[in-house]
Amino acid sequence: MWAKRYILLFIISFLVQEVIAQKGVTTFGLQIKPIISSEIINTGPETIKEGAINFTLEPNQGYSFGMVIRRGITDQISFESGINYTKRHYNLNITNDTLNFDGKSNFSYVIYEIPALALIYVQLGQKLYLNTAFGASLNFLPSSWDSYDTYFTHFSKRKSWIVPSLLANVGFEYRTRKDGIFYLGFSYHRPFSKITTAGVGYVEDRIQKEAAFFDVTGNYLTIDLRYFFHEEPLWKQKRERE
């Protein structure tokens, strides 16, 4: 009976120590986030018809990658920030019903992001944790964008050089003693306003015949893959200095 109690106390003490190990610790990590387009979050194709011309703009896959800095505030709460490079791809399809013409092209947007998130941890096992995060991100648009071909012109004028966004994620992380932290999760990114308006013109014999304008919201989902480098707990760092 007493043996079972001692074993139970030992297990509880071990788990608590693993949680406290994040308090006051600053960890650095790397992440890559493939972007998923989904009609659920209003990122499906949009078609505008002008006369005999059909313009269709469809968000395609993209990616985001960068560095992450995490600071443990309490046993179950951390603050997270960093900087990310994000590239979004869009497919453009223009058809002319009169000439039976079908033209396909694509273009991309490049955005830099600085997120600020509050994380809450739930311990599921000895080394496995569930965490949820909520916060905001500042999106920096370095310039407007343009592209063209023999049959179209495209120009996207940025609304502002900086656009704030809502940011939330959920995921699982596996913490090792010496080999760092491995993370797999999902994020939702939603700007508070549109990031740009894409103007597309149909060109025939070097003359623009019709034009359409698309409001680009910039919403997206990502699959998050992260790795955090190993950092000793604060109490252990103090002990080693002593």
Containing domain of residue 26, as a range? 2-241
Give the CA count within 13 Å in the CB-facing half-sphere of 17.
10
Nearest to 63 by CA among 222, 226, 227: 222
Which run of H or of E encompasses 169? strand 162-175
Q: CB-based burial of residue 42 (10 Å sphere; 0-12 exposed, 13-18 middle, 19+ buried)?
A: exposed
pLDDT tens readout for residues 155-176: 998 888 999 999 999 999 999 8
Interatomic CA distance for residues 6 and 166, integer angstroms: 47
pLDDT tens readout for residues 35-93: 987 666 666 788 999 988 999 999 988 999 999 999 999 878 999 999 999 999 999 99
Q: In degrees rounded to 5, what are phi and psi of residue 21?
A: -60, -20
pLDDT tens readout for residues 181-203: 999 999 999 999 999 999 999 99
pLDDT tens readout for residues 100-138: 899 999 999 999 999 999 999 999 998 999 999 999 999
To the nearest 10°, report the CA torsion of 73, 71, 163, 170: -80
Residue 165 belongs to a domain with what CATH number?
A: 2.40.160.20
The conformation of residue 52, written as its DSSP 8-state character, comes to T
State the total domains in the chain: 1
Which run of H or of E encompasses 202? strand 196-204
Nearest to 85 by CA among 158, 7, 139, 36: 139
Interatomic CA distance for residues 165 and 190, integer angstroms: 5
* pTM for the predicted model, two decimal places: 0.81
